[in-house]
Structure formats: C-alpha cells, structure tokens
Amino acid sequence: MDLREQGEVPIAIPINFKELVSGSVVESSRIEAKEDFNPERVVHTICAFANDIDNIGGGYVLIGVAEKNSLLQLPPKGISREQVDSVLKRLSQLCRGIEPHYEPIVEPKQVAENRYVIVIWCPGGQGRPYKAYKNVYKKGSTERLYYIRKMASTPVATSEEERELYYVSSTIPFDDQANLAAFPSDLSLALMRDHLKEIGSSLYEQSEHATLEELADDLQLLSGPPESLRPRNVGILMFSDHIHTYFRYARIEVVDLPDPTGQNMVEKTFTGPIQRQLRDALTYIKNYMLESKIVKFADRAESQTVFNYPYAAVEEILSNAVYHRSYKVSEPITVRKTPDALEITSYPGFDRSIKDSDIQSRNIRGRIYRNRRIGDFLKELHLIEGRNTGFPTTFRALADNGSPMPDFQMDENRNYLSVILHVHPAFQPQESRRDAGRRELEQRILDALPERPVLISELARLLGYKGITKRLRITVDAMLSEGTLRSVRDGARNRIARP
C-alpha cells in the first residue's frame, strides 16, 4: 500500500518519478542516489542542494537507488516499508540541525511490493546560506560547515566558495521572489493541475480535492507568512490567467517582413502563461514561416531535403529566450523574419560570466541563471533541455541542414541579445543573388581597368568577353550613375575611367 493512502505523507513531489530517475528532465549532477540510508552524507547533500551555489534549482536525493559509475541502477532495489518509517523520523531530526531551519519535501515512492524509494526534493532555500553539522553521530557536536554542490560531489565550501555563496545568496532569482502586488487568488488551480497531469506527477491525483493555496504551496509557488501569502513571480508567469496585469510585456511578437518596404507584413502576438506563449509561437513559426526544399548536388547522386531555417535551431533559441530573459525589462521577445534572415531578440544580453571571446568562438556556457524555477518547469514540459545544451544543439542543427552559423548582436552594455539565423543558400532571394552577381562584376571591372581611360569595347575584351554584353552595359551605366566610374569625353566617343 502506498504510504500516502495512510495519511502519513501529505506532500507529493511535483515531478514524474520515472522521468526523474531516467535523467531526461533533471541533470545527473542534481541527483544524489543512495542505495542505503547514510544519515551524514544525506544531510550534507540536502544542505548543499539548499545552498544552490549555481542557482540551478537545488536537487534530489534518492534513498533506495544504487549508483555505479555515475549511473543509476534501474529498476531501483528500494528499501523496505519498515525502513521507511525510521528513515523519515531520522530525516526530520537531521534537518533540524541545519542552520537556518530548512525542510526539504519528502515522498516515499512505491517501486515494488513492500519496496520504496524515498525521494527528497531540495529546492534552493530562501534563507541561504545554510550550514549542517559536520558529524551527526557525535553527541554534543556543535561544528557546522557550509556544504555546496560541485558536479556530482558534495564538498565543504572553501573560503573563496563561502564568499561566493554569500554573494549568490544575497539575491534570490527574480522568478523565485514574491510578487507583492499579486495575491494567491491570481493563480489558477486549473493551470496548476493541467501541468501536473501533463508531466505525470502523482501530485495530480492528490490535488483533486486540494484548495488553490494548498496546491500552490505544494508546488512552492507561495512566499511569506500565513497571514500575508504572496505568489512568487514564477507562479504568475506560468500559472495565472492575469499574467499581463503584472508583466505587461511578457509576450512574444512574431513579425514576417517579406518585403523591405513593409508591404504584406504579417504580425502575430502570443500572450498568456509563458509556456503557452512558447508552444503557440513555435507552432505558428513551424507552420507558416519554415519551408523545405529538395536540393541536388553535383558531387553525389543523393538529394537532400533542406529547410530555410531548421526547426530545432529556432526552437532552442526561442526557448532559451523565454528561459533566460529578464521579466523585469518592459520589452517583449521578438521574432523578425525577412527574406534573408530570422532574428530573435530578447532582453538583456548574455550575462558577464560569458566572455566576448567565448561568444566569438561559439563556446557559450553560462553560469548565472536568471530564472531557475522557470527552467525547472520548462524542463519538466520538455520545452528546454539541460544546462548549456541549447546553443550546441542549435549549431548542430544548422550544420546538419547546411545553413550558415548564427550571428550574435549586443550593445556595449549587453542590454539586449539578437540571435540572427541566416537563410539557407537554397532559399536566398533571387534579388539578393542578382545583387551579389552585380557586386562581383563591379569588382571585376575595377580590377580589370587600366590606369588610362578605355572604351567599353576594350573593357569587354579585358574581362574576357567576345563583345559588349547587355549585363556589362547595364552594370557600367549603373556604376557611372553611382560615381563608381567616370566618363571621359574623347572626341565623339566616351571612355571609361576610374573616379
């Protein structure tokens, strides 16, 4: 029997257990597996996840799951029903030794008959930094230390890391802050339940009779004392029908400009909870802005289907924009398509932990996460991948499609970021090709011209033509009109010279 049926465990973990242990939603560095219960190591890991030095959303401790060479051994062996009771009691005692007070969310998950895995969810704490007893076995021990998470280990923080921990702890990520202008009633019970159902969380069934505040509390969407609860920004952005009351410009604007003059321009605006915006915008772009074409190659028999912009690249860039943008900036995310490029702009630009040289070499690996909770929810919905995987996925999709690599544009203060995807050469507008051909001929003319003025017939021979072609005459006339060439009168004839 599941322990929740006996009323012993009132809270369920708002994540699908199978996806958690498979590593498809949460990175392995955020999961610590223990085949058996080791009190000291478990409490140190809980403390480390609560400190969340990298602002990635804390992590999970799994008791009853073996690990070998950093891989979870599945299916999990679990621990017995009798062990669960003693582990839960011991955990409660251990967590009282964390300073300041911190309580993770704990749920036993039944994995076989009389076998359970205890899932301990440790989100980044509001009271960071936290210390835990160094020795939990020694009676009267008073020494507490700061523990942090580094890759898949839980070391004691060095002096430098302690300073960094205080620094990151001084600012709670914006999406995890309380929205003091909003109220719990601004959240939607239906949206929260829809999310739990979609990700396959066991909390969905339990939420059938829960109040709005109870479910929002289970999802860690509320902050403040009981008499003055406020929703966190992530709650308003993802689980509210009133998002634009509090975040007016939290929207995605898509503009299609088929003509530089602005004629036949099509604009679409996507609003509502940000995960819905992202899905709807991606669906619209995929259906109405992306095209495919079969191209043949001279050096091989096989043809290939290519796209003006590979969907995987567009998906990653737009999803990253929703994840990493600042919702304090009153500017929307914009997607702007022209005949030769698709540009996605968000505010602000890359954080300063990413150097200019890293951007130029396309080695884009961020360390600072503006919206750790948004990132966790989007990962559960499979709308984004793991940490620092977005741009490598983008580059790979572009390379596989035969598309040029993207350009990144920011101002000096990194107030904005524009990621520019260039159209695949097979979709380059015909007018652009003619322009490129004309520029090439203009350069050939300038290179071939001698220092002295020449007749156009002589210029034609210098270029290797048998006579004066229509294209050559049109190009020369345009260059004379633009001042790139000048005309020299020689009796009844005009000669061409450099300006």
Pairwise CA distance, residues 226 & 209, whole Å: 20
**For residue 77, pLDDT beyond 80:** yes
**For residue 93, pLDDT beyond 60:** yes
Pairwise CA distance, residues 279 & 252, whole Å: 11
- The residues pairing with 337 across neighbouring beta strands, listed in sequence order, are 256, 342
To 5 degrees, how large is the angle CA 338–CA 343–CA 349? 160
Pairwise CA distance, residues 286 & 254, whole Å: 12
- Give the pLDDT score at 28: 80
Contact 98, 50 (CB under 8 A): yes
**For residue 424, pLDDT beyond 70:** yes
Which pLDDT band holds residue 2 (cuts at 50, 70, 90)? very low
Dihedral (CA of 349, 355, 357, 359) sign: negative
Share above pLDDT 90 across residues of the chain, in percent, rounded to a whole number: 51
Assigned token pair, 407: 């350009």
**For residue 126, pLDDT beyond 50:** yes
- The residues pairing with 132 across neighbouring beta strands, listed in sequence order, are 145
Residue whose pair of structure tokens reads 């069934």 in the numeric block: 205
**For residue 333, pLDDT beyond 90:** yes
**For residue 492, pLDDT beyond 80:** no
How many CB atoms are closer than 10 A to CB 151? Answer: 9
Rounded alpha-carbon distances, angstroms, from residue 309 to 1, 194, 306, 402: 52, 32, 8, 10
- Give the pLDDT score at 142: 85
Catalogue all structural domains in the chain, each as residue range(s) with its CATH number.
3-170 (3.30.950), 172-243 (no CATH), 252-427 (3.30.565.60), 430-497 (1.10.10)
